[in-house]
């Protein structure tokens, strides 16, 4: 995503807010309500001045003051209501633009980018952009308040207004400097908070690993650095606040001193009334507060600009194309619909994972892919699932290139069961039916659970299929999670099966039961599996030996035992392992 041809940074920002279809009508209403509120506030010091001049018993002035306050409260409430509505809508609409794109990115993008960075695109960045847009809309009101205050002050007393002009640059400089460093250090606090969150989010789900290897002290030392970085960021923010408050107070002191000293002088000469000086002071406060908002606004916009640049990288990245020329079913149901890798080479970054691979998974046959760890077996499965596209060569179904077949249908037609058996938070039923896009009767779900040897332990839960599996399925054992994943494959009833050590964590009885069910399920279906189990190998119609990203040999179990040394060694190692397990 880093080498893309980019439009201007501001172009990315405005392109995003156009694409997100923000509620501009609500922003306009908010601006109008805010301008109305400011108009009343600008008029308020004049009314206060009139009351202080002894017109407290003038009913017209008193009622005017009351009505203005009531109207101000109403307008502030309306403006706040629009803020309440616009902010969630804005963030939601931006997230709706980002998430569909993010989830459709090729797998390569997820390998190249940290998951926390991806999450920030959906969570933090929309909030930054929303803040900038909100501040931008308030800029109309801020400018109106500034101009209005200057005009009224000028009409009240030219001399006192001109006397304040030398103070204005100081107000502006202090406001901008304070706003800059406040936002900058706050951004540092948020950044370190994200890093700390990522650190703990990675380790807490792996607490068993940490305890098993006694690495608590080691992880404590690592966390100390993360916590120290957060402390440093917080300390910088506190340091800025330490000086920001005195600086802002100095602005207050200079402004008050100028107004009171010179205003008092003008009062003594009869050029101003005391009530006018107080009213004048209130307008100066408007100017001070609004100039500070300008400084804060600029920093907010810079944050939003940076956020939009990161989002633009995702928006401009290549997206998986779902719609292709052919449907999956019309190709998969043909008699010759073998899955073929033809002259396929593929690399992760600069590391070559597959090198000129040629292999065929025959239609309706059982095919095993074996080889040492890191040899390329899982990458081949990734190619068959079309999670990755070859750098060179092509994947075929029959004689049709895979990239001509609808991608979503292709993946829906292939059931993948891995040794890791990933689950998502939710119920057992939801996980078994994950990937099924139609209503399924519980009878079918229970049948799938029975085939996967999951029925017995599911019925032990009072909730049954409604049992919550927890985050990542942590409320289930490893073997139970694997059975749920296998049951999911049964429900899918696919044309093709990919089994990645699918029975590695099962006991002998469960393995026997599932083998029997799998034989029934795989009958007439194309099945590829990664396994070194000798009994499994003897059942295979076709075996492919993969080593160092290349196909070293292929054939039946008997043929490979006679002709391929690597295959013989793998089987021998597995036999020794089985004998050791039998002896314990």
Do residues 33 and 82 touch, judged by C-beta distance below 8 A? yes
Q: Give the SS3 label for residue 408.
A: helix
- How high does pLDDT run on average in the chain? 83
Domain extent, residue 471, equals 328-583
Read off the pLDDT band of 513 (50, 70, 90): low
Residue 494: give its domain's CATH number: 3.40.50.300
Of 35-44, 290-299, 479-488, where does mean pLDDT reach its minimum? Answer: 290-299
Give percent above pLDDT 70 in the chain.
91
pLDDT for 542 = 92
Please provide the DSSP assignment of 214-276 as one string.
T-HHHHHHHHHHHHHHHHHHHHHHHHHHHHHHHHHHHHHHHHHHHHHHHHHHHHHTTSS-HHH
* Cα–Cα distance measured from residue 108 to residue 391, given in angstroms and rounded to the nearest whole number: 12
pLDDT for 456 = 87
Residue 138: give its domain's CATH number: 1.20.1560.10
Position 2 in a domain: no
Do residues 417 and 527 touch, judged by C-beta distance below 8 A? no
Same-domain pairing of 240 and 383: no
Do residues 315 and 4 touch, judged by C-beta distance below 8 A? no
Is the pLDDT reported for residue 31 higher than 80? yes
* Cα–Cα distance measured from residue 344 to residue 390, given in angstroms and rounded to the nearest whole number: 6
Catalytic residue among 12, 310, 495, 501: 501
Position 322 in a domain: no
Q: What is the pLDDT of residues 3-20, one digit of tens each?
A: 444 445 567 777 788 888
Q: Give the SS3 label for residue 367.
A: strand
Is the pLDDT reported for residue 435 higher than 50? yes
Q: Which of 261, 296, 316 is the last residue of a domain?
A: 316
| Torsion sign across C-alpha atoms 88, 90, 93, 97 | negative
Pairing of strands 339-348, 392-397: antiparallel
Conformation bin of residue 485: beta by default, left when phi > 0, alpha when psi is -120 to 50: alpha
User: Counting beta carbons within 10 angstroms of the beta carbon of residue 524, is it exposed (0 to 12), middle (13 to 18) or buried (19 or more)?
Assistant: exposed
Q: What is the pLDDT of residues 494-506, one digit of tens each?
A: 889 998 876 665 5
Strand ranges of the sheet holding 414-418, from the earlier edge strand across to the other edge: 414-418, 496-500, 526-530, 366-370, 542-547, 550-555
pLDDT for 104 = 85
Same-domain pairing of 40 and 63: yes
Same-domain pairing of 564 and 531: yes
Same-domain pairing of 143 and 231: yes
Q: Which residue has the tokens 């803020």?
A: 83
* Model confidence, pTM: 0.73
Residue 471: Cβ within 10 Å count: 12
Of 317-326, 395-404, 477-486, where does mean pLDDT reach its minimum? Answer: 317-326
Same-domain pairing of 256 and 402: no
> Which H or E run contains 477?
none
pLDDT for 548 = 92
pLDDT for 1 = 44
Same-domain pairing of 90 and 126: yes
Q: What is the pLDDT of residues 159-209, one digit of tens each?
A: 888 888 887 788 778 877 877 787 778 778 877 887 888 788 778 877 877
Position 4 in a domain: no
Q: For 375, which DSSP code?
A: S
pLDDT for 163 = 86
Is the pLDDT reported for residue 2 higher than 50? no
* Cα–Cα distance measured from residue 348 to residue 483, given in angstroms and rounded to the nearest whole number: 31
Same-domain pairing of 42 and 75: yes
Do residues 493 and 412 touch, judged by C-beta distance below 8 A? no
Tally of structural domains, the chain: 2
* Cα–Cα distance measured from residue 299 to residue 294, given in angstroms and rounded to the nearest whole number: 9
Q: For 581, which DSSP code?
A: H
Same-domain pairing of 102 and 128: yes
Q: How many CA atoms lie within 13 A of 193 on its CB side?
A: 9
Same-domain pairing of 284 and 345: no
Residue/partner pairs of 329-334 with CB below 8 Å, 24 or more apart: 329/409, 329/413, 331/397, 331/398, 331/400, 331/405, 332/397, 332/413, 332/495, 332/496, 333/495, 334/398
* Cα–Cα distance measured from residue 554 to residue 557, given in angstroms and rounded to the nearest whole number: 9
Position 244 in a domain: yes
Read off the pLDDT band of 343 (50, 70, 90): very high
pLDDT for 138 = 85
Same-domain pairing of 515 and 399: yes
pLDDT for 369 = 93
Read off the pLDDT band of 578 (50, 70, 90): low
Same-domain pairing of 89 and 190: yes
Give percent above pLDDT 90 in the chain.
15
Same-domain pairing of 295 and 389: no
Q: Which of 295, 316, 337 is the last residue of a domain?
A: 316
Position 180 in a domain: yes
pLDDT for 3 = 42
Q: Which of 316, 343, 374 is the last residue of a domain?
A: 316
Position 323 in a domain: no
- Give exposure, 165-185, as e/b (b: 16+ Cβ within 10 Å): eebeeebbebbbebbbbbbbb
Q: What is the pLDDT of residues 211-240, one digit of tens each?
A: 766 888 888 888 888 899 999 988 988 888
Q: Is 501 a catalytic residue?
A: yes
pLDDT for 320 = 76
């Amino acid at each position: 995503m880093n080498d893309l041809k980019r439009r201007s940074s501001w172009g990315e920002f405005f392109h995003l807010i156009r694409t997100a279809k923000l509620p501009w009508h609500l922003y306009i209403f908010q601006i109008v309500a805010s301008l109305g509120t400011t108009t009343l506030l600008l008029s308020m010091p004049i009314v206060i001045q009139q009351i202080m001049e002894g017109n407290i018993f003038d009913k017209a002035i008193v009622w005017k003051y009351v009505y203005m306050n009531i109207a101000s409260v109403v307008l502030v409430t309306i403006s706040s209501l629009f803020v309440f509505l616009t902010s969630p809508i804005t963030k939601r609409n931006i997230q709706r633009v980002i998430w569909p794109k993010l989830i459709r990115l090729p797998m390569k993008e997820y390998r190249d980018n940290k998951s926390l960075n991806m999450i920030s695109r959906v969570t933090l960045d929309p909030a930054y952009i929303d803040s900038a847009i909100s501040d931008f809309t308030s800029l109309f009101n801020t400018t109106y308040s500034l101009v209005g205050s200057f005009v009224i002050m000028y009409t009240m007393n030219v001399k006192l207004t001109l006397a304040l002009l030398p103070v204005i640059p100081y107000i502006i400089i202090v406001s901008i400097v304070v706003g800059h460093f406040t936002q900058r250090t706050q951004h540092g606090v948020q950044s370190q908070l994200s890093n700390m969150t990522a650190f703990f989010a990675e380790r807490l789900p792996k607490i068993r690993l940490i305890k098993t290897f006694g690495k608590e002290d080691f992880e404590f030392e690592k966390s100390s650095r993360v916590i120290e970085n957060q402390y440093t960021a917080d300390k910088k923010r506190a340091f800025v606040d330490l000086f920001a408050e005195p600086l802002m107070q100095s602005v207050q002191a200079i402004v008050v001193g100028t107004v009171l000293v010179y205003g008092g002088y003008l009062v003594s000469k009869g050029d101003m009334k005391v009530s006018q000086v107080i009213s004048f002071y209130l307008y100066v406060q408007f100017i001070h507060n609004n100039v500070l908002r300008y400084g804060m606004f600029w920093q907010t916009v810079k944050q939003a600009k940076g956020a939009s640049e990161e989002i633009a990288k995702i928006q401009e990245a290549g997206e998986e194309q779902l719609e292709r020329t052919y449907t999956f079913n019309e190709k998969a149901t043909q008699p010759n619909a073998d899955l073929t890798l033809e002259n396929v080479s593929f690399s992760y970054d600069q590391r070559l994972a597959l090198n000129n691979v040629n292999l065929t998974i025959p239609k309706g046959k059982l095919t095993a892919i074996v080889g040492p760890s890191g040899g390329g077996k899982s990458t081949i499965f990734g190619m068959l699932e079309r999670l990755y596209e070859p750098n060179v060569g092509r994947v075929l179904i029959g004689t049709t290139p895979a990239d001509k077949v609808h991608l979503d249908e292709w993946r829906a037609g292939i059931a993948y069961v891995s040794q890791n058996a990933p689950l998502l938070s939710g119920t057992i039923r939801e996980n078994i039916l994950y990937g099924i896009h139609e209503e399924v009767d519980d009878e079918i779900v229970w049948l799938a659970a029975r085939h996967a040897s999951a029925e017995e332990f599911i019925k032990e839960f009072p909730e049954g299929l409604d049992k919550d599996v927890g985050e990542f399925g942590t409320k289930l054992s490893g073997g139970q999670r694997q059975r749920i994943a296998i049951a999911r494959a049964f429900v899918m009833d696919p044309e093709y099966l990919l089994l990645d050590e699918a029975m590695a964590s099962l006991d002998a009885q469960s393995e026997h039961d599932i083998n029997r069910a799998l034989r029934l399920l795989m009958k007439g279906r194309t099945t590829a599996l990664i396994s070194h189990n000798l009994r499994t190998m003897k059942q295979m119609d076709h075996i492919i030996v993969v080593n160092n990203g290349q196909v070293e040999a292929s054939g039946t179990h008997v043929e490979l035992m006679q002709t391929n040394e690597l295959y013989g060694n793998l089987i021998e190692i597995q036999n020794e392992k089985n004998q050791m397990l039998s002896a314990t």
